[in-house]
Amino acid sequence: MVTARAAATFDPDGRSAAAARGFVRDALLGWGLPEVVDDAVVLVSELVTNAVVHAGTAAEVCCLREEETVRIEVTDHHPERGLPSLGDGHRYADPDGEGGRGLLMCSALAERWGVEYAAGQKTVWFRLTLPAHVVGTRYAVPATPGSDLPSSPGPVHVAVVQLDEDGRVLAWNPDAAALFQYPAAAVLGRPWADLAVWPQSPGRGLGLTDTLRLARWEGGYGVRRADGEEVEVYGVQVRVRDTEGVPSTLCLLVLEPDRAVLRSPARTLPGERPDPTGPRLDLLAGPADTDDLDTLLQRTVERARDLLDADAAYLLLTTDDEAEFELRAATGLNHGHRRHARFPVGTGNRYDSARLPSVHEDLTARPTGLPLLADSGMRSLVTVPLKVEGRLIGSLGIATAVPGRYDNEDALRLQFAADRVALAVESTRLTELERLRRGSLSFLVEASDLLAGTLEHEQTLALMAQMAVPTLSSWCAVYTNGDHGASAGLAFVLHEDEDRIDPLRDLLDKTPAPEAGPTHGVRFWTAPGGTAEALGLTDSPELAGLLGETVVLPLTARNRVIGLLALGVPSGVRFRQEILELAEDLSRRAALALDNSRLYSERTATSQALQRSLLPPDLPEIPGVEVDVYYQAAGEGNEVGGDFYDLFTIREGTYGFAIGDVCGTGPEAASVTGLARHSLRLLAREGLDAPQVLRRLNAAILDEGSRSRFLTLLYGELTPRPDGSTELSLVCAGHPLPLRLRTDGRVDRAATPQPLLGVMDDLDLTAEHLVLSPGEVLLCVTDGVTERREGRRMLGDDGLAEVLTGCTGLTAGAVALRVQRAVERFAPEPPSDDMAILTLRVPTQRTT
């Protein structure tokens, strides 16, 4: 009866055998069957090699756990290959040849084995007998002097955490509560990802979720305690099933100094001669994931630490100019230096040279020049260079708290292992750099598209910050320069944790803004930390761990600094060089977008101010006449429209009104609009009648020469009469005709068309007179109303008249609102032209 099953498929390439070995090892260790791991790994390696190398097809590996045996099947898709030939005595021929070697090994190591053929595939299977359970010692280490035993700072707590299929906490023992300061009630049901600080970059390689699904995993990572502090732990994760077959993950965790409690011992492979100087150093043992540099480096330092029985290990990689080392992986060290911290390559001392292997017997007698080990408690140190084709690419170091632990033999063995891993590291690093380069290009393209999609100043500020957080930093602040050379002011703040935005803003408000400095380049900024220290806020819960390394980048557009971009990371974290380079590229693009939005905002404000100046500030109250005006400029508000209206007092008892439309938009149209509105008032108050006023205005427009624009204008004078009616004198110069609404609902034109202004020198204009009786309405509009379109339909004069017919009995304001709503509802799209509506109504009873 099969009690457990694990299966995987491996592509036909040279890495499949190693991946298959790791898969089988993890599956059997996860089932608690270490006794058969070695034989199974050897057999699967040979059979998968036959499938992917010799047969040239993908290999499917299936592990089946039975009650007393383990059955493993390897299937390929090249069934025409037969069994190896038989020699005399029914023995397999040519045991040293390549063909059939996997089957020879099956016959030697497996209890049973066989080959099964099916349509289009061939399966080789073997069974390994599980050893009977024997009570007693399974692994032992010879007696060791007390001074060489692992030390522990206090009682050893072994946290037991069980996670469900979704990675949520199912069980939490008292030791877990003691180690991480969370009571069980506070964590049950929470995602493990909220507490675990996984040692690799998000989105790349094997993440926490994938690791929790492995049959077995062992290694180090961080856990965030209840007080926010990150502690380094060593853990063993085993995939188990309950009685109903539901899988879960069991995690055993200890503090990093107590890792000896859980760490698996290094084992010698069957048939391998033990090395008298120590275990064989193979830093690439196990399944290789060469696509993820962080995982490869972290596994390398952990394996180097374990194989040389060290307390700590680290791996540095050189920067592009080979002038500095960057810490990329470490284990067993304190948190004084976090990943990506940088140190100079050369110290000026030959014996500390990173280009040669070196052994430090006692760091207290002669400290190394590397600040990474300062105050770490380490006494012995071995460092070896990582070189590829003679070029230094990194440095690997192992250390222990016991002095005199290592000698030259250990350094040579570590150097041999480092030489083997250097090429894999360099290849993976180049792959990572290419991935980062492509990711950076995609990021910048997306940023450019987003920033180009808006001209709103506030929205541009928000987009800048959102592009930076959390991709480049944990928080961001944007400073913009004030007018007339004023110092930069804080314009926008964003943190990846929304609860920390307000405390961060309060701190930055109290911190002097950074100086503008040069027009390019990254500068480090320490002022926020100094302000927090001066105000005694360093240990406040709101700012705990908030302020680490902070940089400032100038926002330079059109050869001048228009602002500053501040980026910050948590305490103990440093910016990587490629992140700073990407931030510089982003700042250049953001600066141009910010300057464009500033110019657009200024232009919009100027245009709106000019537009307001071309309209009357207030309408005079006319005894016996209701007046209402509706005005709406089309577009985004950045251009001055050509429509205008006016209502003013000519002399006591007589008032002038006008509604017009200048051809075009922008400053030229605005100049004609201003000329028309102010000229109308001046000429009308000189005692000229309506035709004379328009003829003088026409001459003034033509005098503008090339700056002139033609103008349609409805101008009239109204005089309320004692009987409650109102007398009007009108001239409609090329403008949409005014409509008159009578009390019985009839609508008729109140004027006839005459020549527009600004085209001909001599105009023959005549005034038309009418009397509005009580209850009647005069409606005057611009062509933005009558030319409202939906496809081929147009509202037109007839449509406007139909709308006005239904306005009998309404006030002047209600009529204007009814017309405006009819125009908006005529088409689903917003109006594309300016719109002005002027209504005059004589009330049925004179109001005083």
Does residue 288 register a pLDDT over 60? Answer: no
Q: Cα–Cα distances in Å, from 792 out to 108, 159, 657, 782, 828?
A: 89, 76, 33, 20, 14
CB-based contact 305:437 (threshold 8 Å):
no
Residues of the chain with pLDDT > 90: what percent? 30
Q: What is the per-residue pLDDT for 369?
A: 63
- pLDDT confidence band for 348 (50 / 70 / 90): very low
Listed residue (276, 277, 250, 252) closest to 262, CA to CA: 252
Q: What is the dihedral of CA 103, 105, 106, 111, to 10 degrees?
A: 150
Q: How far from 260 is each of 310, 312, 496, CA to CA, in Å?
A: 11, 13, 37
Position 54 confidence tier, pLDDT thresholds 50, 70, 90: low
- Which among 307, 299, 276 has a CA at the least distance from the CA of 382? 307
Residue by residue, DSSP assigns 442-501 as HHHHHHHHHHHT---HHHHHHHHHHHHTTTT-SEEEEEE--GGGPPPEEEEEEESSGGGH
707 within 8 A of 773, measured Cβ to Cβ: no
Residue 842 CA to residue 844 CA, distance in Å, equals 7
Mean pLDDT of 280-305: 72
Confidence of residue 84 (pLDDT cuts 50, 70, 90): very low
pLDDT band at 72 (very low <50, low <70, confident <90, very high): very high
As a whole number of angstroms, the distance between CA 425 and CA 358 comes to: 21
Q: What confidence tens digit (pLDDT) does each residue in 433-449 have?
A: 787 788 778 888 888 88
Strand-pairing partners, residue 717, are 656, 729
Rounded to whole angstroms, how far apart are CA atoms 379 and 402?
A: 6
Q: Which residues are bridge partners to 662 per DSSP?
A: 711
For the chain, give the percent of residues with pLDDT over 70: 85
Give the pLDDT confidence score for residue 121 in this predicted structure: 85
Tell whether pTM > 0.85.
no
Average per-residue pLDDT for the chain: 82
- How many CA atoms within 13 Å lie on the side-chain side of 677? 23
Interacting residues of 658 by C-beta distance below 8 A, sequence separation 6+: 644, 645, 646, 647, 676, 677, 680, 713, 714, 715, 716
First-to-last C-alpha distance (Å) of the chain: 105
pLDDT of 203 higher than 50? no
* 8 Å CB contact between 656 and 728: no
- Would the pLDDT of 515 be above 60? yes
Average pLDDT of the segment spanning 376-391: 86
Where residue 417 falls among pLDDT bands split at 50, 70, 90?
confident
**pLDDT digit string (tens) for 720-736?**
999 999 999 999 999 99
Q: Which of 172-186, 258-272, 583-597 has the lowest mean pLDDT?
A: 258-272
pLDDT of residue 219: 82
Instruction: Please give the full DSSP string across 657-697, using - where no structure is assigned.
Output: EEEEEESS-SHHHHHHHHHHHHHHHHHHTTT--HHHHHHHH
Extract the tokens encoding 652: 């006591």
Question: Residue 430 above 90 pLDDT?
Answer: no
pLDDT for the residue numbered 85: 43
User: Residue 97 pLDDT > 80, yes or no?
Assistant: no
Confidence of residue 477 (pLDDT cuts 50, 70, 90): very high
Beta bridge partners of 394: 317, 386
pLDDT confidence band for 483 (50 / 70 / 90):
low
| Mean pLDDT for the stretch of residues 304-313 | 85
Residue 452 clears pLDDT 80, i.e. is over it = yes
What pLDDT sits at residue 106?
A: 80
CB burial of residue 70 (10 Å; 0-12, 13-18, 19+): buried
pLDDT band of 450, cuts 50, 70, 90: confident
For residue 136, pLDDT beyond 50: no
What length does the chain have? 848
Give the Cβ contact number of residue 221 at 10 Å: 20
Q: Are 564 and 472 in contact (CB under 8 A)?
A: no
pLDDT at site 41: 84
Name the β-bridge partners of 492: 478
Least confident of 228-237, 338-347, 501-510: 338-347
